[in-house]
């Protein structure tokens, strides 16, 4: 529809036309309830534009479109190689629009523009990675007896709901779309209401790449409305969610209405262990990346630094020096900015409430003050708490900001106990030059991922996911395909008579 678009000029001078509708059946349409979502620039607190917000009727239409596409020969009957070609074409189109997509991501989300460009490269790489898998997903023959021929088929699960977070909008979309499409599923995606813009420009690329109508549908909306309808919808076969543990639990409960297949990637309070023989300079630099990149808004952020007491003071001094020399807070479009604003006022206020909590509980604070630009923006200084006790709220709860606690340990056994003393189990990191200790500790830490002598350097070819209350299932790598296929067994009687 002609009125479902807006011409915009970003702070970096980039001009583009953005669709604002719900993307259903390869078309942009109005919300049936007339609802809108306003996107706020976290740098200056001004509205960028408003987009359509889906209601229950819109979700029904998107699910119906996805079901029709799943059963239509234009998608159901094409070969894996053809699916792969569509995905390669999509990746090429993303590459051609990389600068504009990254611009929207920074404007809408607040992350530094260089980081957004890095995210877009990962989007491109993810689509190409799974495009290559599209014609390599197959079953097997299973020898049984001479009178039976048995084989299996790997088939798509069906219509998949995907709910993505605001910290890596396009990155998380690619992590979910890549394997889902490679395996032949269809998708109804709900982006986060805090960052609804970049995914709409991505949506324009699916018809251009040749994807049939209904294969991918994108319905911006509020979680309590559109997200709830998706989780409870009887026409959805699978739901994949990235976000908070509390919301993940609610989705898991709601999805049980028809026993949906689920993949959940939820919260974390990941530890980073520094042993006394570690390269302290490198440990400090990686610890800085592990908690302060992306404004600390990373599910795997290593937000608990556990440091052996013999090197504690040296590490703290080095870590503070890295922050001082690296963590420049400022305009996310400026080349020398390391840390932009927090994504929303709500997230900004949440982080400051944890600063108040840590101070009131007696921990020692460095940083943690608001630092607006010209009186505007959700900017917070890098926040470090030392002299932290394990019963403090700041030690136990996920903050999701540039906020770290540093705690001492004495022995390897104590370090492992402290690392595991949490309801979460997403990631962990450890630093030591003793390779035997590294492998031993890595195997004993209760986490889905462990980094040895690095932090948060994930790779799309390697499985990603958590244990305990950090999620169910895995994304990325070959393991990511398992979340979007189901195995059917076929038994052929080759002569057995009754």
DSSP assignment of 443-490 equals HHS-SSEEEESSSS---TTS-B--SGGGEES-BSTTHHHHTTEEEEEE
Q: Report the alpha-carbon distance of residue 366 to residue 361 in Å, rounded.
A: 15
> Do 162 and 187 form a contact (C-beta atoms < 8 A)?
yes
DSSP string, 283-313: HHHHHHHHHHGGGG--TT---EEEEEGGGHH
Among 265, 318, 398, 475, the one annotated catalytic: 265
For residue 20, the SS3 value is coil
Quote the CA–CA distance of 454 and 449 in Å, as a whole number: 12
Helix (H) or strand (E) holding 170: helix 169-182
At a CB cut-off of 8 Å and minimum separation 6, what does 410 contact? 308, 309
Residue whose entry in the numeric block shows the structure tokens 């492998």 = 439
**Active-site annotation holds for 265:** yes
Q: What are the phi and psi torsion angles at 497 (to 5°)?
A: -110, 145
- Considering only the C-alpha atoms of the chain, give the largest distance between any 2 of them, rounded to a whole number of Å: 86
Using alpha carbons only, what angle is made at residue 243 by residues 248 and 389, rounded to the nearest 5 degrees? 95
Q: 405, 363 in Cβ contact below 8 A?
A: yes
Backbone angles phi, psi at 23, to 5 degrees: -95, 100
Rg (C-alpha) for the chain, rounded Å, is 24
Distance (Å, whole) CA 379 – CA 368:
10
Under a CB-based contact definition with an 8 Å cutoff, are residues 216 and 86 in contact? no
143 closest CA partner among 496, 494, 497:
494
Query: Angle at Cα 417 formed by Cα 414 and Cα 421, nearest 5°?
Result: 140
Which three-class secondary structure state does DSSP give residue 153? strand
Tell me whether strands 261-265 and 471-472 are parallel, antiparallel or unpaired: antiparallel
* Set 122, 160, 225, 299: catalytic member: 299
Q: Which residues of 144-181 are buried (b: 16+ CB within 10 A; e: fewer)?
A: eeeeeeeeeebebbbbbbbbbbbbbbbbbbbbbbbbbb
Tokens of 123: 């989007």
* Residues present in the chain in total: 498
Question: In 3D, which of 297, 322, 288 has the Cα closest to residue 429?
Answer: 288
Q: How many CB atoms sit inside 10 A of residue 296's CB? A: 24
Active-site annotation, residues: 265, 299
């Amino acid at each position: 529809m002609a009125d479902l678009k807006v011409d915009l000029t970003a702070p970096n001078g980039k001009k583009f036309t953005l669709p604002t509708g719900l993307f259903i059946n390869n078309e942009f349409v109005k919300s049936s309830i007339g609802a809108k979502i306003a996107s706020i620039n976290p740098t200056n607190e001004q509205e960028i534009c408003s987009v359509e917000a889906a209601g229950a009727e819109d979700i029904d239409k998107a699910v119906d479109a996805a079901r029709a596409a799943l059963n239509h020969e234009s998608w159901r009957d094409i070969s894996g190689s053809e699916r792969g070609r569509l995905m390669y074409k999509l990746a090429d189109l993303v590459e051609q629009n990389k600068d504009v997509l990254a611009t929207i991501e920074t404007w809408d989300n607040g992350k530094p523009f260089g980081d957004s460009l890095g995210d877009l490269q990962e989007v491109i790489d993810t689509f190409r990675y799974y495009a290559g898998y599209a014609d390599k997903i197959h079953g097997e023959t299973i020898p049984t007896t001479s009178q039976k021929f048995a084989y299996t088929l790997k088939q798509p699960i069906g219509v998949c709901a995907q709910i993505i977070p605001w910290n890596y909008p396009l990155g998380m979309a690619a992590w979910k779309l890549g394997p889902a499409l490679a395996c032949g599923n269809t998708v109804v995606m709900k982006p986060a209401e805090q960052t609804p813009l970049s995914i709409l420009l991505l949506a324009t690329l699916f018809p251009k790449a040749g994807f049939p109508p209904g294969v991918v549908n994108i319905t911006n909306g509020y979680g309590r409305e559109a997200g709830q309808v998706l989780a409870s919808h009887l026409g959805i076969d699978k739901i994949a969610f990235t976000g908070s543990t509390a919301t993940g639990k609610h989705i898991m409960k709601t999805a049980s209405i028809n026993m949906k297949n689920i993949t959940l990637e939820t919260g974390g309070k990941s530890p980073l262990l520094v042993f006394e023989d570690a390269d302290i300079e490198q440990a400090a630099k990686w610890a800085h990346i592990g908690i302060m990149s992306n404004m600390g808004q990373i599910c795997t952020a290593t937000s608990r630094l556990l440091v052996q007491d013999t090197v504690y003071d040296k590490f703290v001094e080095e870590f503070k020096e890295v922050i001082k020399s690296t963590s420049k807070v400022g305009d996310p479009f400026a080349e020398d900015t390391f840390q932009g604003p927090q994504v929303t006022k709500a997230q900004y206020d949440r982080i400051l409430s944890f600063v108040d909590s840590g101070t009131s509980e007696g921990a020692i604070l460095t940083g943690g003050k608001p630092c607006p630009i010209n009186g505007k923006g959700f900017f917070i200084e890098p926040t470090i708490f030392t002299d932290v006790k394990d019963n403090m709220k700041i030690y136990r709860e996920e903050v999701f900001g540039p906020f770290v606690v540093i705690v001492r340990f004495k022995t390897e056994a104590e370090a492992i106990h402290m690392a595991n003393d949490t309801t979460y189990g997403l990631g962990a990191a450890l630093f030591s030059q003793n390779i035997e200790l590294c492998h031993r500790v890595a195997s004993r830490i209760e986490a889905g991922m462990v980094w040895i002598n690095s932090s948060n350097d994930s790779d799309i070819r390697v499985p990603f996911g958590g244990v305990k209350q950090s999620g169910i299932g895995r994304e990325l790598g070959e393991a990511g395909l398992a979340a979007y296929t189901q195995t059917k067994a076929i038994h052929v009687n080759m002569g057995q008579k009754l």
